[in-house]
Amino acid sequence: MSHQAWNLLIYRVPSQPSTQRVYVWRKLKGWGGLYLQQSVCVLPQRHDLEQQLEQLKAEIISGGGEADLLAIVISDETQVSSLIDRFQQQADQEYQEFLGRCQDFHQELERERQIDNFSFAELDENEAELTKLKSWLSKIHDRDLLEATGYSTAIAALKDCEQDFQRFSQQVYKAQDL
C-alpha cells in the first residue's frame, strides 16, 4: 500500500452546541485520524475510510458546518516519512497506556491473592476487566493504520494477563472446593 496518498478533511462546525465538534473529533480519532492542526485531519487514503469521511463530511454540512475532503498526494519522501512516524507515535502512545492498564490488572490480581480474596464475585469482576482489555486492544489496533511497533508488545501483555487470570481462576476454584 502506498502511503503517499492521503485524505485530508478540513472542517468548521458551529461553536455551539459543542456536541457536534466533539462528535466529529471522536469519529476522526476513532478511525485513527491524525490532526495536523485544529479542524484539519489526515488519514491514509483507503476505500473504507474514504466512505466514512464522505459520510462525516455530509453530517458536518447538514449540521450547519463547512467541510472539504481532499484527496492529496505527497511526493516528498521526507514529508511522507514524517507523517507515517506521527501516525505510529500516536498509536504507540495508546499501546503504552494499554500496557499500563495491563500492569494494573496484574497488581489487582496480586492484591486479591495477598488477602486471600478468592471469591466468585472477584473472579467475575476481573473477568470483566480482562474483557475490557481485549476490547480496548482491538480498538487501538483498528486505529493503528500504519502498523506501529507497539502492537506486538501489547499482544504479549494481553496474553500475560490472560494467563494470570487463568491462574487466579484456578485459585478461586480451589478455594471454593470445585
Q: Report residue 3's pLDDT band, with 50, 70 and 90 as the boundaries.
A: low
Q: Specify whether 30 is located in the same domain as 96.
A: no
Compute the average pLDDT of residues 112-119: 96
For residues 43 and 93, membership in a common domain is answered with: no
DSSP-assigned states of every residue in 74-132: ---HHHHHHHHHHHHHHHHHHHHHHHHHHHHHHHHHHHHHHTT---HHHHHHHHHHHHH
Residues 46 and 106 grouped into a single domain: no
Confidence (pLDDT) at 116: 95
Q: Which of 45, 75, 105 is where one domain is finished? A: 75
How do residues 57-67 score in pLDDT, each as one tens digit?
A: 999 999 999 99
Cα torsion at 57, 60, 65, 66 (round to 10°)? 0
Q: Supply the range of the domain harboring residue 137.
A: 84-175
- Rounded Cα distance, 13 and 144, in Å: 26
Q: Is the pLDDT of residue 1 over 50?
A: no
Alpha-carbon gap, residue 121 to 146, rounded angstroms? 40
Count of domains in the chain?
2
pLDDT at 177: 85
- Same domain flag for 60 and 109: no
Shared domain for 41 and 124, answered yes or no, is no
Please say if the pLDDT value at position 2 is more than 60.
no
What count of other Cβ atoms lies within 10 Å of the Cβ of residue 23? 15
Neighbours of 80 (CB within 10 A): 17
What pLDDT sits at residue 4?
84
Task: Tell me the pLDDT tens digit for each residue of 4-47.
Answer: 899 999 999 998 889 999 999 999 999 999 999 999 999 999 99
In the prediction, which pLDDT does 31 show? Answer: 97
Q: Domain with 71 in it: what CATH number? A: 3.30.70.240
Tell me the pLDDT tens digit for each residue of 136-170: 999 999 999 999 999 999 999 999 999 999 999 99
Same domain, yes or no: 104 and 47 = no
The three cell numbers of residue 48 are 473504507
How many whole angstroms separate alpha carbon 175 and alpha carbon 152?
35
DSSP, res 2: -
The SS3 of residue 37 is strand
Residues 143, 160: one domain?
yes
Is the domain of 117 the same as that of 69?
no
What lies within 8 Å, CB to CB, of 94 at 6+ separation is: 140, 143, 144, 150
Q: Are residues 112 and 94 in the same domain?
A: yes
Rounded Cα–Cα distance for residues 82 and 64 (Å): 34
Q: Are 61 and 111 found together in one domain? A: no
Q: pLDDT by residue (tens digit) across 62-89?
A: 999 999 999 999 999 999 999 999 999 9
Out of 40, 75, 110, a domain closes at 75
